[in-house]
Amino acid sequence: MAYQFDFAAVLQHSDLLLQGAAFTLGLTAIGTLLGVGLGIVGAILRAWRIRPFDRIFGVYVELIRNTPFIVQLFFIFFGLPSLGFRLNEWEAAVLAMVINLGAYSTEIIRAGIQAIPHGQLEAASALAMSRFETFRHVVLRPALGKVWPALSSQIIIVMLGSAVCSQISTEELSFAANFIQSRNFRAFETYLLTTALYLLMAILIRQLLAWFGRRFIMGAR
């Protein structure tokens, strides 16, 4: 018998899908701000070999980049309470995303910093620029400009990876999709619409990051 599509059974729960999408975007926004901030700090420490913090960040980067995100999430949500640190599902999801993105962005931004010609630093010193001015205008912005496409792609990967946060009952998009599918048993229609929403969010974030990069990163050099 031919399969009968029934998208109406899914669309009647569209409010749950939209709430889940909004939650995913909020999770991504917070994770991006804190994760990239952590990555900038780690990149500076590693690129300029500020001991002993460069080695500490080196261990952190290798640990996170070589373990699955879901294991990191479970360790934070289920493991830390054993040590007395209790987090709800929202806090655990944010912390996991920040730690994960921080490790990857550390290496991405470090590559950009190391690509800055040493002569530019000498020129900044000759112009009597302060350390903050040198860091902001000569190091950070050009470095981010060099790696912005790679960093943008990593942010989108982290956004898509947030789907596993549903495993700890974080009410993001995939959690909403699983909930709807368990009620109407229309798995094909539910996950097809969920896929479309993830695709739309990825395109939206990519375009937003591209605009931000042109406006505030590349355009400011």
Number of domains in the chain: 1
Segment 146-163, tens digit of pLDDT: 999 999 999 999 999 999
Which residue range is the domain that position 59 belongs to? 11-220
208 falls within a domain: yes
Highest mean pLDDT among 19-28, 80-89, 123-132, 180-189: 19-28
* Cα angle value 44/159/161 (rounded, 5°): 100
Indicate whether 108 pLDDT > 80: yes
Distance CA 101, CA 109 (A): 12
Domain membership of residue 5 (yes or no) is no
When the pLDDT of each residue in the chain is averaged and rounded to a whole number, the result is 91
pLDDT of 1 higher than 70: no
pTM, whole model, 2 decimals? 0.92
Instruction: Name which residue leads in pLDDT, 96 or 82.
Output: 96
For residues 103 and 83, which has the higher predicted lDDT (pLDDT)? 103
Residues 6 or more apart whose CB falls under 8 angstroms from that of 121 comprise: 134, 138, 139
Q: What's the pLDDT band for 194 if we cut at 50, 70, 90?
A: very high
- The span from the CA of 118 to the CA of 104, in Å, is 25
pLDDT of residue 160: 96
User: What is the domain-level CATH number for residue 204?
Assistant: 1.10.3720.10
Question: Is 1 domain-assigned?
Answer: no
**The pLDDT value given to residue 219:** 65
Q: Are 109 and 147 in contact (CB under 8 A)?
A: yes
Give domain status of residue 2, yes or no: no
Within a domain: 151: yes
Contact between residue 198 and residue 157 where contact means Cβ atoms under 8 Å apart: no
Tell me: pLDDT of 221 over 50: no
Confidence of residue 136 (pLDDT cuts 50, 70, 90): confident
